[in-house]
Amino acid sequence: MASLPLPSWGSLTYAHSPNPLRIPSASDPKRTLPSLLESIIPQPRLSPLLFNGHLQTAIPALFPSAPAIHYKRRIFTADSETFKGHFAVDFAVKPLITGKKEGEEKLLIEDPVGVGHTDLPERTSYFTNAEFEALEQRETDKPLLIVLHGLSGGSHEIYLRHAIAALVASNGKTDDEGFSGGDFDVLVANARGCAGSRITTGILYNARATWDVRQTVKWAREKWPKRKLFGMGFSLGANILANYLGEEGSSCPLTSAILVSNPWTLDISHTILLSTYIGKHIYSAAMGKSMRALFARHAAEITTNTVLDPAVIQATTYLHEFDREVQCPTWGYPTEGAYYRDASSADAVLAIRIPTLCLHAQDDPIACDQAVPYEEIKCTPWVVMCATSGGGHLGWVELGGERWHAKAVTAFFRIMAFEVDLEGMVAPDTKAEGWSRESGYRSPFQYGPLRRKLQLVENSELIPGI
At 63-86, the pLDDT tens digits run 999 999 999 999 999 998 899 999
pLDDT(104) > 50: no
Region 294-304: mean pLDDT is: 92
Question: Are β-strands 185-189 and 356-361 bridged in parallel, bridged antiparallel, or unpaired?
Answer: unpaired
Which domains, from first to last, does the chain contain?
12-265+345-424 (3.40.50.1820), 266-343 (no CATH)
Helix (H) or strand (E) holding 124: strand 124-126
| pLDDT given for residue 106 in this prediction | 65
pTM summary value: 0.93
pLDDT one-digit tens code per residue, 378-432: 999 999 999 999 999 999 999 989 999 999 999 999 999 999 998 889 888 765 4
Distance CA 274, CA 141 (A): 47
Please report the pLDDT score of residue 170 as a whole number. Answer: 80
Question: d(Cα 234, Cα 188) in Å, to the nearest integer?
Answer: 11
Contact between 164 and 92 under an 8 Å Cβ cutoff? The reply is yes
Whole-number Å distance between alpha carbons of 421 and 34: 15
pLDDT for position 98: 44
pLDDT at 242 over 90: yes
Active site members = 235, 364, 393
Task: Answer yes or no: is pLDDT of 369 > 90.
Answer: yes
pLDDT band for position 165 (50/70/90)?
very high
The reported pLDDT for the residue numbered 3 is 47
260 contact partners, CB below 8 Å, separation of at least 6: 159, 163, 232, 233, 234, 235, 238, 358, 359, 394, 405, 409
Tell me, what amino acid is at 413? F
Beta strand pairing status for 86-93 and 256-260?
unpaired
Short-list 67, 217, 158, 73, CA closest to 396:
158
